[in-house]
Chain A
């Protein structure tokens, strides 16, 4: 019952505060639209100047540098290529410990960190001799002699064309045909050359003095 009355009281307060809440919401909504337009143009400029759409803030940058420094201090990169002769008291040689296979090693595993930036070029290794590419000498003159001339090619083609034409036009041997069984049919006179109605030959040009060429078009003037 007490909770119900508390909620009842809150209801009265919320009814009083509701208009203020609506005003604040509308103000933030309108401000948000202007903010959106402003940030949109700003971010477009950032984008076309090669930066990120939302560039890193100064505080974020400081935080990142701080975290990187802390990571570097907590996880120093192990030095593997040190000459044992150079080892001194400050950097003694690691002690060899007997480790059982079933147990986990007592020391911390070194964490290998990849370098964050790589050199732009790979350094050349001089251990292996660089194999030069063998330049193949091309026999220019021999190929030139072997290559047929253009004129000769055209002559050969003409000869081949003549052979093909002679084969096509060669008279076939006459075959003996028995004409006794063939009935002679009346030969009809050849039809006149079919000319569709309304058409004329292009070659036929009307002899007219007024013909100056082109196409005559009659327009209906209404």
Chain B
């Protein structure tokens, strides 16, 4: 007999399994909603490509998919430059601040995120040390990690002032740049789709053998 079939679940075990299933389903649903949000955002960002190429397409200056992809690539890259220069400047400024700080303090191994004299000093930081027996607990006879030790509480350090300025600038710059890169990706995908659909010739609902009505024919009453 298969030992799996021999397992007899108690009522408590069934409840736990049911709760776990619901949690997993909810997790996937939340991920699905977030993904749908990203897809909608990218579709909205891709609409910008329509406005960039619509004039030359509607005036029949561009007549082939290759021309459309080439023109859209140039226009998209220009649009990306206009969107990305501010976050790039923010990142460059943050880098310069850290470099100047390292040059003044003559410490090129400085980590701006550390908890001693970096940006981490403003954050709660928990850590697993693995060596502390107080972190472990026993569940069903198994010894597992169950507790994280708080190693830092928010406190102000004057030496970390440069990192307090540079790290937020860098984080904002990186996120902003990623949004601009996502828009660039969305416009590129949209231009590929447009190059296939704009010049599409469809024969749906067309039958060459169907009787054609002569022009200027009066409707039969």
Contact with A along B79-95 (1 / 0, CB 8 A): 01100110010000000
| Interface-located stretch among B98-106, B110-118, B176-184 | B176-184
Distance to closest chain B CB from A74 (angstroms): 15
Indicate if the CB atoms of A10 and B32 lie closer than 8 Å. Answer: yes
Instruction: Tally the A-B contacts, defined by beta carbons under 8 Å.
Output: 83
> In the docked arrangement, what's the CA distance between A54 and B61, Å?
20
Cβ–Cβ < 8 Å partners of B34 in chain A: 14
Indicate if the CB atoms of A28 and B77 lie closer than 8 Å. Answer: no
Closest chain A residue to B68, Cβ basis: A59
Partner of B185 from A24, A54, A59 at Cβ < 8 Å: A24
> In the docked arrangement, what's the CA distance between A21 and B55, Å?
31
Closest chain B residue to A62, Cβ basis: B61
Is chain A's interface secondary structure helix, strand, loop, or mixed overall? Answer: helix
A8 at the interface (CB under 8 A from B): yes
Contact with A along B155-187 (1 / 0, CB 8 A): 000000000000000000000011011101100
Cβ–Cβ < 8 Å partners of B33 in chain A: 7, 11
A9 at the interface (CB under 8 A from B): yes
Contact with B along A41-67 (1 / 0, CB 8 A): 000000000000010010110110011
Is chain B's interface secondary structure helix, strand, loop, or mixed overall? Answer: helix
In the complex, how many residues of chain B place their beta carbon closer than 8 angstroms to a beta carbon of chain A? 35
Contact A15:B180 (CB < 8 A) given known A7-B36, A39-B77, A63-B55: no
Cβ–Cβ < 8 Å partners of A67 in chain B: 59
Indicate if the CB atoms of B84 and A10 lie closer than 8 Å. Answer: no
Indicate if the CB atoms of B180 and A32 lie closer than 8 Å. Answer: yes
Cβ–Cβ < 8 Å partners of A32 in chain B: 80, 84, 177, 180-181, 184
Indicate if the CB atoms of B59 and A7 lie closer than 8 Å. Answer: no
Cβ–Cβ < 8 Å partners of B180 in chain A: 32
Using a CB–CB cutoff of 8 Å, the interface residues on chain A facing chain B are 4, 7-15, 18, 21, 24-25, 28-29, 32-33, 35-36, 39-40, 54, 57, 59-60, 62-63, 66-67
Using a CB–CB cutoff of 8 Å, the interface residues on chain B facing chain A are 25, 27-36, 38, 55-56, 59, 61-62, 67, 71, 74, 77-78, 80-81, 84-85, 88, 177-178, 180-182, 184-185, 188
